[in-house]
Structure formats: C-alpha cells, structure tokens
Structure 1
Amino acid sequence: MSDDGHVDGNALAGDLREIFAVDVTAAVGRCSGCGHRGPVASLRVYRDAPGVVARCPRCEEVVLRLVRGPGRAWLDLRGAVSLEIPLPS
C-alpha cells in the first residue's frame, strides 16, 4: 500500500474476473450522449470497420468499440456512462 492509501490496479483482478465472466449483453448501459438506458444487446452494431462499433439506438452516438488482434483485444467504453451488470447469485 502506498503512503496515500491506494494500491495498484492489480487489486481489481478478482472483481473484474467475476464481472466479465458473465454475459455482458444482458448488462444495462447508459449512453453518455443522450442518457438512454438499455441492454447492451439493444445497441446497433456495425462490423464494417477494422473492429466492431456499437451505437446508441436512440441518438446514434458510439457507445462501444472493440478491436481484436492476435492474442488480445481493445475495448473502449467511453460512450457509456455506466454498465449495470447482473451477477449470478
């Protein structure tokens, strides 16, 4: 632990593993553009680019970008204010 009370991002490993082990399409997100709330499954997905782009069904703002490469992926969620992810009991 540092002097100011924080630890590094490795402390998130267990929490994030639990979250991303579920079907994220069932998560409810909120668009940063218009505030629309809805399941990830309701986003409009475009696969014509080098990656995948998902847009808000209401305002067409980009909510999610996903690019895959050999052995890794890049996920950009800056168009989502939040994701409410249902977890198994």
Structure 2
Amino acid sequence: MSEHRDGNALAGPLADIFTVEATTAEVQCRACGLSTTLAQLVVYGPEPGLVGRCPGCSEHVIRVATTPSGTWLDLGGATSFHFTSTATRASSR
C-alpha cells in the first residue's frame, strides 16, 4: 500500500454527496466491529479513488471515486454510519 492520510481526506468528495459533516459520522467496520469516526479511518488514494480503511483491521470501510460522469460511493465495508443531527451538535457546544 502507498502512503496514507486520515479520514479527513474524504471530506471534499463526500461534501458533494452529503449535506452533513461526514467526517464526524460514526462508522462501524463490517470486518472487525470497531466503531470509530470517519475522520479516524486510514485513507489511501487519490487515484483511482479514495479508500478508507479501518484503523483496527485495515479492511476497506468506504471507497469514493469521482469521475467525469459523477461520484461512485461504496459503503460495503461498514455495517452502519451514524450522522449526528444539527440539533445534537448545537446542544453539545
């Protein structure tokens, strides 16, 4: 594998898809069950796309590839994503 970054590298491509701050979402790895934030994933890429891997077991959790015709999103390596609502974020400040 090549050099990697943290899950914040996924923020730009995911901002085109989600209207929430995706990097704060809690994600659970399908392979090992680890729950972590999207920002804590180990990300490889950018070519041909970004691959977010679990920091616990290194399995892929999310893949994002942007092409001239659109954005491909594979969430197959996750059992769930939990996005905190705007109201919840505001009350925790």
What is the TM-score with the length of structure 2 in the denominator? 0.72
CA distance in structure 2 between the partners assigned to 1:41 and 1:47 by the alignment: 15
Match of 2:83 among 72, 82, 85: 85
Moved more, 32-41 or 47-56: 47-56
In the TM superposition, residue 31 of structure 1 has moved relative to its aligned partner by 0.1
Partner residue in 1 for 2:25: 27
Give structure 2 stretches of 5+ with no counterpart: 1-16, 88-93
| Structure-1 separation of matches of 2:80 and 2:54 | 13
The reply to whether residue 73 of structure 1 matches residue 81 of structure 2 is no
Question: Could you tell me the percent identity over the aligned residues?
Answer: 42
CA-atom RMSD in angstroms: 1.5
Runs of 4+ in 1 over 3 A off after TM superposition: none
Corresponding residue of 2:49: 51
Which residue does 1:63 correspond to in 2?
61
Partners of 1:37 and 1:77 in 2: how far apart?
14
SS in structure 2 at match of 1:38: strand
Task: State the Cα distance separating 1:49 from its structure 2 match.
Answer: 3.4
TM-score, length basis structure 1: 0.75
Measured in 2, the distance between the counterparts of 1:83 and 1:38 equals 10
In 2, the alpha carbon distance for the partners of 1:33 and 1:41 equals 18
Larger radius of gyration: 1
How many Å separate the matches in 1 of 2:74 and 2:64?
Answer: 6
Q: In the alignment, which residue of structure 2 is the partner of 1:39?
A: 37
Rounded to whole Å, the distance in 1 between the matches of 2:38 and 2:68 is: 25
The one-letter amino acid of 1:53's match is V
